[in-house]
Structure 1
Amino acid sequence: MTHTPNASAGMAAARQDTRKDNTKMEHNRGSGGARPRLGLLAGVAATVLLGGCVSFSQDGGLSVARTVAYTELGKDVVKINGEAQALATQMRVEALLKRPLSPDAAVQIALLKNRGLQASFNELGVSEATYVQASLPPSPTVSLGRSALLGGGAFEVERQLMIGLFELATLPQRAAVAQQEFRAAQFRTAEAVLSLGAEARRQYYRAIAANQQVTFLQQALATAETASELAKQLGETGALNKLEQAREHAFYQELGAQLAQARIDQKVERERLIRQLGLWGRDINFTLPSTLPALPARLASQKDVESEALARRVDLQALRNDLNAVAGQYSLDVIQSVVSDIELVEGSSFGKSKTISEDGTVEIEKEKSRTRAIEASFTIPIFDFGESTRRGAQEAYMAAANRLAERAVNVRSEAREAYAVYRGKYDLARHYQNRVLPLQKRIQDEALLQYSGMLVDVSQLILDARTRILSNVEAINARRDFWIAATDLKAALVGGLNGGGESGGETTTAAAGGEPAAAGH
């Protein structure tokens, strides 16, 4: 069949108009259908955003640490985030260092300058970022693809927008788990604050005790030097035999060796204090009091130390939040043992094909379609009906519960032990102060009188002097140990006990001519 040119042109124009109308109708249907579908996705995301998202705190999560530092230590903490804060902190520290350092000032400086504590604050910031991220809904996944169709060079373009409905549905529960984990991190940071404060206070007392021992041994050495010179003069006149002269000289030399060791200990204890305080440069030239604080007139009461520790210990608070987090994770694990994922898919595809009309004209056909579907994937329990996941979650929960129970038992014992040491060290320090030292002073006075009257020889005088020196050094150690025990008692009630208590391996000079006595740290 043949057509005239005019007739063919008219039919081609009619087909073109028809395609335009169809394309316009398809566009209207497509855009009108896309709006409610895209609105559905946007509505789901908006609902979750409004209900579950959290924002970063202004203090980097330090609210718990700040509260604990203020209520339990009477101090404050600062997270240094910039040069202005660093300068303000340095000015505060320099003001505290202008006067002889007190125990409270040492604690405050440590909380401001110790870089290890600042690292703990940064780690808390990481925990908060994890918590905030866990509260956010899952990000939509966009996929683009192009595939060639067989014949005529046709191809198809696909676009898909996917949102995990399972993640959306479990978002509140996952956010609650992350919140408990962040809360536990907050209490652990508070524990780091208490631990640093307690250790700075302990080291403060050790440094002062080392200074006091050096001062006492210097005085004892001066006395021994005078006695040694006198023995030499008496030996020259024949009033003192060579054996007694040798004993007096040996006593003086032994005291010199003991003083040298005490000076080494003094430098070591001071450097340890400097590290705890986080000081360097000119700030290390601070001054310390010459003697330890006097013993208090009254002791803290033993009443309800166990219940007080159970109520106030921050490590228990951290473990409680750990247990809550594991409990929430247990429920998620049980769900995930059956359902792997559910996704809401919104997509569209564009297809193009070319055809040749009867008159030889090449025509491009465009096709557009939209799809919306819910795709769910499930674990097929061929070998495991979710029992291993549930058993693992259950064991993790019981492990957290047992750790909490163990800590609660240990907290009770630590409180009782700390109070027993606190009370015992107080009684021992008072015993040296009120009984031993006065008796040693009396023995010294009587021995000097009898030596002047030629009633005792120099060997007895040296023996009494050694005993007196030993008693004075032990009295210093006993007072130091009481103040350390008082610090440990506080830490046993509120937290930060780790790293405290008796420190092994350290010795302190005891007496001339004798063995070094245990420091009893």
Structure 2
Amino acid sequence: MAVATALSGCASFSPDGGMSVAAGIVAKELKEETVAIRTPEDASSARARIEHLLKRPLTADAAVQIALLNNRGLQAAYNELGVAEAAMVRASLPPNPSFSLSRISGTLESELEATIAADILALATLPARAEIAADRFRAAQLSAAEETLRMAAEARRNYYRAVAARELVGLLTQANAAAETAAKLARQLGETGAMNKLDQARDQVFYADLTAQLASARQQASGEREQLIRSLGLWGGDLDFTLPNALPALPPRPETIPMVEQYAIDRRIDLEIGRIELEALAKSYGLSNATRFVNLFQLSGIYKDTRESVGGESVQFRDFGPGATVEIPIFDFGEIRVRQAELAYMRAVNRLAERAVNARSEARDAYRAYRSTFDIASHYQRQILPLRKIISDETLLRYNTMLIDVFTLLDEARRRILATIAAIEAKRDFWIAKTDLQAAIIGGREARPIDETSKLGAITGAGADGP
């Protein structure tokens, strides 16, 4: 009991509920802040920050910050971190003694019997189980950080899609207004006989096409905005936030990362989680091997009844003494559990190797996409759009001097609109590719499925409630 009491003093809850790892990674990699909202004061502080960010036109960084403070799914992940910490503290504590009370009635008196039983094996393996539980909690902390990075990347992607859709609506609105004016003018000229029916029809169909494209663009912009709203966790009066009219300008030059694979291997959070899983399973394997012949070893109360004569009457006494219960390995010599532990360890090795190979490929692919999307977007901004403007200006000049017909003018207007739409989409793809590159290097590229068979400590060697 004294040893158990001393060991129990070593386990306690952390002041921040294990949030230090996730908060540190977010501050380092994203330059943002994330908190687990667990008190009214935390909620009030987060709410004040969100309201301040929503007062001005939303930026990508502001959208990420709002998602980190307001997304309830992310807060649920932090709640799971608290559950993991509670499991760690529980696994680090010695087993509680059990008291069995029964009432025995005799002819002269009633007596209470107390039997104390403690799992000696659990006490003996407590240091190993506590170490495995600490590894498991460390993995849970990194999983919370990975979920935070995933949520931040998702919010950033949805922001760029929503702003690009809004910019596209603005472009088509201006073009549609100009086409409407041209269609009205063509109708008036047709009424006076100055424009034939073919040119009138071409003006009208051009305006009709733009109207349909504008309606489709507005629908897409509404859907992208709602997707962003879900990422940010907004509702009610917060839905009136303002998005900018255009995407950010391209940087002067792209980032150069010559060792992108090595960066990913060194910094990917999911790889670090895999390493911890591997270490924990190795420790579980050692524990299974050490306890293969002793599965249940309990100190229990063993008693015998004696009767003595007291005052001329026979009185029953019960003497207590220590005893042990040992599982006799007749059919299973522990080989099954040792084989399970060994295969679980090798499974973790192969999965970690697969994850590392995939991380290298994802980093290369994300970096190539980042560089190619930058080149494409830059090409549109520096080459195609300026040339299209020159062509449009010259076409309009020739139309005004009656050197070309209205069909050529409308065809060039349509081509310029399509080029501008492609430029907006190319710029959007670049900013999304930049987000994907960061996720491929540090983690959070996508949600990692939970595999029940690969959880830490799945193969243990200490009783039914093993590590």
> Are 2:3 and 1:48 aligned?
no
Partner of 1:124: 81
Kindly, what percent of the aligned residue pairs are identical? Answer: 50
User: Amino acid of the residue matched to residue 59 of structure 2?
Assistant: S
TM-score by length of 1: 0.82
User: Amino acid of the residue matched to residue 442 of structure 1?
Assistant: I
Shift in Å at residue 234 of structure 1? 2.1
Partner of 2:278: 323
Partner of 2:389: 441
**Secondary structure, aligned partner of 1:92:** helix
Partner of 1:392: 340
Alignment size in residue pairs? 448
Partner of 2:234: 279
User: Amino acid of the residue matched to residue 128 of structure 1?
Assistant: E
Partner of 2:71: 114
Q: Any stretches of 5+ residues in structure 1 without a counterpart?
A: 1-41, 356-360, 501-521
Partner of 2:222: 267
Partner of 2:249: 294
Shift in Å at residue 208 of structure 1? 0.7
Which of residues 23, 31, 34 is equivalent to 1:74?
31
User: Amino acid of the residue matched to residue 2 of structure 2?
Assistant: G
> Are 2:425 and 1:466 aligned?
no
Partner of 2:300: 345
In structure 2, how many angstroms separate the alpha carbons of the residues matched to 1:462 and 1:282?
Answer: 43
Shift in Å at residue 351 of structure 1? 5.8
Partner of 1:171: 126
Of stretches 89-98 and 138-147 in structure 1, the one that deviates more from structure 2 is 138-147
User: Amino acid of the residue matched to residue 76 of structure 2?
Assistant: A
Shift in Å at residue 48 of structure 1? 3.1
Deviations 1:466-497 (A, max 9, x none): 11110000100111111111111111111111
**Secondary structure, aligned partner of 1:340:** coil
Partner of 1:202: 157
Which of residues 170, 174, 178 is equivalent to 1:215?
170
> Are 2:143 and 1:188 aligned?
yes
In structure 2, how many angstroms separate the alpha carbons of the residues matched to 1:445 and 1:230?
Answer: 20
Partner of 1:11: none
Q: Is contact 2:176–2:210 with CA below 8 Å preserved after alignment?
A: yes
Q: 1:252 to 1:499 in 2, by over 3 A?
A: farther
In structure 1, how many angstroms separate the alpha carbons of the residues matched to 2:110 and 2:257?
Answer: 85
> Are 2:446 and 1:498 aligned?
yes
User: Amino acid of the residue matched to residue 363 of structure 1?
Assistant: E
Which of residues 313, 319, 327 is equivalent to 1:369?
319
Q: Is contact 1:326–1:397 with CA below 8 Å preserved after alignment?
A: yes
In structure 1, how many angstroms separate the alpha carbons of the residues matched to 2:447 and 2:2?
Answer: 53
5 Å-filtered alignment, 1:239-250, equals 239-250=194-205
5 Å-filtered alignment, 1:224-263, equals 224-263=179-218
User: Amino acid of the residue matched to residue 354 of structure 2?
Assistant: E
Shift in Å at residue 346 of structure 1? 5.0
**Secondary structure, aligned partner of 2:118:** strand
Partner of 2:424: 476
User: Amino acid of the residue matched to residue 184 of structure 1?
Assistant: A
Which of residues 56, 59, 69 is equivalent to 2:16?
59
**Secondary structure, aligned partner of 2:404:** coil
Shift in Å at residue 331 of structure 1? 2.0
In structure 1, how many angstroms separate the alpha carbons of the residues matched to 2:383 and 2:129?
Answer: 65
**Secondary structure, aligned partner of 2:258:** coil
> Are 2:114 and 1:159 aligned?
yes
In structure 2, how many angstroms separate the alpha carbons of the residues matched to 1:427 and 1:408?
Answer: 29
Shift in Å at residue 43 of structure 1? 2.8
Q: Is contact 2:264–2:363 with CA below 8 Å preserved after alignment?
A: yes
In structure 1, how many angstroms separate the alpha carbons of the residues matched to 2:294 and 2:406?
Answer: 92
- Greater C-alpha Rg: 1
In structure 2, how many angstroms separate the alpha carbons of the residues matched to 1:452 and 1:154?
Answer: 121
Q: Is contact 2:147–2:447 with CA below 8 Å preserved after alignment?
A: no
**Secondary structure, aligned partner of 1:454:** coil
In structure 2, how many angstroms separate the alpha carbons of the residues matched to 1:499 and 1:167?
Answer: 36
TM-score by length of 2: 0.91
In structure 1, how many angstroms separate the alpha carbons of the residues matched to 2:427 and 2:437?
Answer: 15
Q: Any stretches of 5+ residues in structure 2 without a counterpart?
A: 449-467
Partner of 2:351: 403
**Secondary structure, aligned partner of 1:229:** helix
Shift in Å at residue 147 of structure 1? 6.4
Q: Is contact 2:55–2:241 with CA below 8 Å preserved after alignment?
A: yes
> Are 2:49 and 1:92 aligned?
yes
In structure 2, how many angstroms separate the alpha carbons of the residues matched to 1:244 and 1:386?
Answer: 90
In structure 1, how many angstroms separate the alpha carbons of the residues matched to 2:341 and 2:30?
Answer: 39
> Are 2:381 and 1:424 aligned?
no
Q: Is contact 1:208–1:290 with CA below 8 Å preserved after alignment?
A: yes
In structure 1, how many angstroms separate the alpha carbons of the residues matched to 2:316 and 2:185?
Answer: 120
In structure 1, how many angstroms separate the alpha carbons of the residues matched to 2:356 and 2:388?
Answer: 46
Shift in Å at residue 176 of structure 1? 1.2
In structure 2, how many angstroms separate the alpha carbons of the residues matched to 1:315 and 1:499?
Answer: 10
Shift in Å at residue 344 of structure 1? 2.4
Q: Is contact 1:147–1:155 with CA below 8 Å preserved after alignment?
A: yes
**Secondary structure, aligned partner of 2:319:** strand
Partner of 1:378: 327
